[in-house]
Amino acid sequence: MTTSKRNLSFDIARAMAIYLVIIGHSMTGLWGTWQSNFVFAANLPVFFIISGYFYHSKKMKDVIQTGINTLLIPFFIVTILYIGLRTIIGEFIQHIHYLNFQTLLPLIYGNGATAHSPFGFDLSSHAGAVWFLPTMFIANIIFHLLMKSNKEFIRFIIVIILFGTGYTLAQYAYFPWSIQAALEVQIYYLFGYWLAKIVKKYSEKKFLPIFLF
């Protein structure tokens, strides 16, 4: 009886990315420096690349349902707990004042940092690192729509346009559910998808880097 051997490379990559996320959000005194920029540039892309690597076609209904169960529900649960704990611990006496529109806004907006919105108000409260979850929900939907095209060149052109659009929007303001980031990360999904095709094509070749096995 044979059993399939789990590829530990991806588990190791996820673990390293998680550690980098923790390290990045612990570097409060170094935010904005090249050190923190390097950590943040290297952590989250790993998750999107892995998602692209394991991409397989699904019905859009299944993509949305899976995203709700594994991304949106955890996001709302963690955000509610985060706001609740901050209210109890930090604002117990003035909890009524604390639970205002600006405080509850992260539940709707999904912002991960203090920022300026394109709708005329500033985001002084935020949901912390879990902003990543609704962003990935949107990004997954976009990538599955993108993959409906069977032409690789068309996919590449669209990804470049999406990246440019996302980058431009990011210079302007912080949009709900970090839509600008969801557009930018499509390039990581596509890279992961291409990597999977290369590995599949040359899986029996000895010259492949060892981390691909």
pLDDT tens string 111-123: 666 666 777 666 6
Burial of 191 (0-12, 13-18, 19+ CB in 10 A): middle
- Which of residues 44 and 166 earns the better pLDDT score? 166
- Which of residues 22 and 132 earns the better pLDDT score? 132
Q: Find where tokens 């068309």 sit.
A: 154
Q: How far apart are the C-alpha atoms of 51 and 48, rounded to whole Å? A: 5
With 90 as the cut, is the pLDDT of residue 66 above it?
yes
With 50 as the cut, is the pLDDT of residue 6 above it?
yes
The H-assigned helical ranges of 92-204 are: 95-98, 101-109, 132-146, 152-172, 179-184, 186-201
Burial of 10 (0-12, 13-18, 19+ CB in 10 A): middle
